[in-house]
Amino acid sequence: MGFAHRLGGALAPENTLAGLLLAHRLGVTAVECDVQLSADGVAVIAHDAELERTTSGNGALAAHAAAELLQLDAGRHHHPAFAGEALPSLQQLAATLRRLGMAVNLELKPDADARRMGQLCAVQIRQHWQGAALLPLVSSFSAEALAGVREAAPELPRALLVEELNPALVAQAQALGCRALHVCHRALSAAWVAQLHGLGLAVMAWTVNQPQEMQRLRQWGVDMLCSDRPDRFDPAWAA
């Protein structure tokens, strides 16, 4: 399964519903996005801890209430044609994904208290996907955040994000009851994919933009791919 990175990859403003709709129009069935908490504890979709790079706001995202964040322009930085595109809440994202029948990988980007962030996000994910046939796959570089997710909503599938592969990280993913390991594509090999599968862990490779690399990872048996170029998914990855 191929996931459009930050909802629309490089083809639209990152982590916006415009990107999600573009990915859907391309025939993509799964997307990745980043989740943070507002000052009042509401899960919103944004990558950076600071607002400047991708929005019309200033300062730390975590210092602003959700009502302020949802008013920001998160489209103009990408192209003036996207001016007025909002920074979405998790609730808005869930409604659109469920309407379109799309899968999602929610990457938790914790601020200070990662465990608490994981717990709060898990409760909101459970609420927004209540009754859904397909639950979000929740990932994080933070083991603490994943531990918080497991405590608050153990039914949510989890994945540990890693830059490298080594036995300690694999053991950490297993200890967290993860379903998958999300690995920087440069750290993967056919042998690692086979080893992780042998341990019952699915493998996602991130962030893969070149068609030859996508093909090689498929030959190795990689299960999921995250890409800035969802327009380059062949039918096997897009499905």
Report which residue type is found at 141: F
Residues 20/48, Cβ–Cβ less than 8 Å: no
**Which one among 14, 85, 107, 228 touches Mg ion, defined by CB under 5 A?**
107
- The answer to whether residue 206 forms part of the interface with ligand G3P (CB under 6 A) is yes
Closest CB 51 distance from ligand G3P, rounded Å: 16
* Cβ within 8 Å of residue 119, ≥6 positions away: 148, 149, 151, 152
Backbone angles phi, psi at 130, to 5 degrees: -55, 130
Calpha distance 217→211 (Å, rounded): 10
Coil, strand, or helix at residue 212? helix
Closest CB 5 distance from ligand G3P, rounded Å: 6
Active-site residue flag, 5: yes
**Which one among 121, 156, 178, 226 touches ligand G3P, defined by CB under 6 A?**
226
**Which one among 107, 140, 145, 185 touches ligand G3P, defined by CB under 6 A?**
107
Per DSSP, the residues of 102-166 read: -EEEEEE---S-HHHHHHHHHHHHHHHTTT-SSPPEEEES-HHHHHHHHHH-TTS-EEEEESS--
Calpha distance 193→210 (Å, rounded): 19
**Which one among 9, 17, 28, 34 touches ligand G3P, defined by CB under 6 A?**
34
DSSP 31: E
Site string for ligand G3P, 146-165 (x = CB under 6 A): ---------------x----
Residue 226 contact partner, candidates ligand G3P, Mg ion, none, CB within 5 to 8 A by sort of partner: ligand G3P
Closest CB 32 distance from ligand G3P, rounded Å: 5
Identity of the residue, 85 or 107, whose beta carbon is nearer to ligand G3P in the bound complex: 107
Active-site residue flag, 78: no
Active site members: 5, 47
State the residues that interact with Mg ion by CB under 5 A.
34, 107
State the residues that interact with ligand G3P by CB under 6 A.
5, 32, 34, 47, 107, 161, 182, 206-207, 226
